[in-house]
Structure 1
């Protein structure tokens, strides 16, 4: 089949690579416009745009998917199907009608659970023990189209959102390629999602990443892992942002939430139900470091995070 692939961030790269290596022809890539990145704020192409250029694949960067010029370009390419992974913009109905076999999205949850922008982070945050990925036909309602393929995987007890998303990006690429094969062969069977039971996963922002030390230790652990690597779990110390990059819940008793106690080989924080061992941290204005290295610079064995 002739495919036009739509995607933007790093997580879409395994799918692009898999489709390029498949029996299908990727005739173009659609991605978000160049954005300012890094300290210098220079305009840079998306990871998908950069990789497509290396592969010699034409790249389309419409400012808005509704632009008539983009519609004309897509019609000229005459794709059989448009596979999508984390493109980052809603597609209007007029655009959905252009490819002969529609648009098929790879989404990193077991729909209808966790529709939206942050399904992996939300699954970890809510304590799910299993997640997965699905391919589905895109309709105008958000992540609500019929499901064509599914894979399931357990969530590791120490997996961060970054770890899990990296795994799903690779296994999901195989699922998306298989869906394209079955679509071409006429063997794909797409099943409508249940009318109820859907949940939504909004993008996590800095406020969602703030640690409440009065919460149960397991909940704090999930928040840290769900917000790693972005937006990054944090608290404050003497009024300055203090990032918690890695931690481990324990069953040690807790007395005063937010109290930090250093020992010879460990650093613990009291929470609402138990102690959390800090493993890697990033104080304001400093590099990431082992929590024990940070604690060696303290002037007391017991301090407290702001509350």
Structure 2
């Protein structure tokens, strides 16, 4: 099929590669324009931009698709279908109607659960035991289109958002290849979502990333792994007159109890509102991630200290 691919982050790269491997003709790749990044704030191309250029594909980086000129350029590609994976721009109605067989999206949840911007993080933070990817026909509503194919997977008890992200990116790529094959032979069956089961995965707000030790240990653990590695849950470390944020990138449930936020041993086990968690990987500002034990060796913190 003649396909337009629309995506931006690394989550979308496996899908682009899988579509090429499956033999589809990628008419053009749409992605977000290069943005300032890094310490020097140099312009940096998106992961999809880099992958498309290395494959010799045409790359388009419009700031918006709202103008008639951009919509005409899109329509002139005369694509059979378009594939959208975390593109980041709203698709106006003329774009939605510009392909022969429709536009299809890879969404990293079991729709209608976790529509919206952060389905991977929210699923873990909510303690979900299962998630997956949904191939959805794109409509004007937010992730509200009919679902055409679903791939399910279990969320491990200590799985982080980063690990789940990579697993779902691979699953989504395979699912989209299956969906387009079914579209091609006329067997793709897309079913309307049940609006009574909708939940929304709001974008992660920096104000909610601080760890609340007063919560039960399971909730603290889910909060930490749902934000790892980005943007990272954190607690405040005070030593003398200095205070700094320490990111927590890994944790496990642990035995123990005490006043919330209290260090229970020399392995960075911290008491929660109920139970305790052991912090297995932490990162101080400007430093590399280290184990909990290595972190403690570089501080004056001892058993019985209340952190945060």
Residue 261 of structure 1: CA displacement? 3.7
Partner of 1:176: 176
- Once residues 101 and 162 of structure 2 are traced to their aligned partners in structure 1, the CA distance between those partners, rounded to angstroms, is 32
Give the superposed CA RMSD. 1.2
Partner of 1:194: 194
Partner of 2:273: 272
- Once residues 97 and 243 of structure 1 are traced to their aligned partners in structure 2, the CA distance between those partners, rounded to angstroms, is 45
Runs of 4+ in 1 over 6 A off after TM superposition: none
- Once residues 58 and 299 of structure 1 are traced to their aligned partners in structure 2, the CA distance between those partners, rounded to angstroms, is 56
The reply on whether 1:260 has 2:241 as its aligned counterpart is: no
- Once residues 21 and 288 of structure 2 are traced to their aligned partners in structure 1, the CA distance between those partners, rounded to angstroms, is 40
The reply on whether 1:242 has 2:246 as its aligned counterpart is: yes
Q: CA contact under 8 A between 2:104 and 2:138: conserved in structure 1?
A: yes
- Once residues 125 and 272 of structure 1 are traced to their aligned partners in structure 2, the CA distance between those partners, rounded to angstroms, is 17
Partner of 2:307: 305
- Once residues 153 and 258 of structure 2 are traced to their aligned partners in structure 1, the CA distance between those partners, rounded to angstroms, is 37
Match runs of 1:219-234 below 5 Å: 219-234=219-234
Q: CA contact under 8 A between 1:205 and 1:231: conserved in structure 2?
A: no
Match runs of 1:20-169 below 5 Å: 20-169=20-169
SS at 1:62's partner residue?
A: coil
Calculate the TM-score normalised by the size of structure 1. Answer: 0.96
SS at 1:235's partner residue?
A: strand
Q: CA contact under 8 A between 2:5 and 2:29: conserved in structure 1?
A: yes
Q: In the TM superposition, what whole-angstrom CA distance separates every residue of 1:4-62 from its partner, at most 9, and x where no partner exists? A: 00000000010000001113211110111111111111011111011101111001111
SS at 2:105's partner residue?
A: strand
Residue 189 of structure 1: CA displacement? 0.8
- Number of residue pairs matched by the alignment: 303
Q: In the TM superposition, what whole-angstrom CA distance separates every residue of 1:141-190 from its partner, at most 9, and x where no partner exists? A: 00000111111111111110110110111011011011111111111111
Residue 300 of structure 1: CA displacement? 4.8
SS at 1:260's partner residue?
A: coil
Calculate the TM-score normalised by the size of structure 2. Answer: 0.95
Q: CA contact under 8 A between 2:125 and 2:223: conserved in structure 1?
A: yes
The answer for unaligned runs of 5 or more in structure 1 is none
SS at 1:50's partner residue?
A: helix
The 1:180/1:110 distance shift into structure 2, 3 A limit, reads same
Residue 285 of structure 1: CA displacement? 3.9
SS at 1:304's partner residue?
A: coil
SS at 2:71's partner residue?
A: helix
Q: In the TM superposition, what whole-angstrom CA distance separates every residue of 1:218-260 from its partner, at most 9, and x where no partner exists? A: 000000110011110101112321111111111x231111112
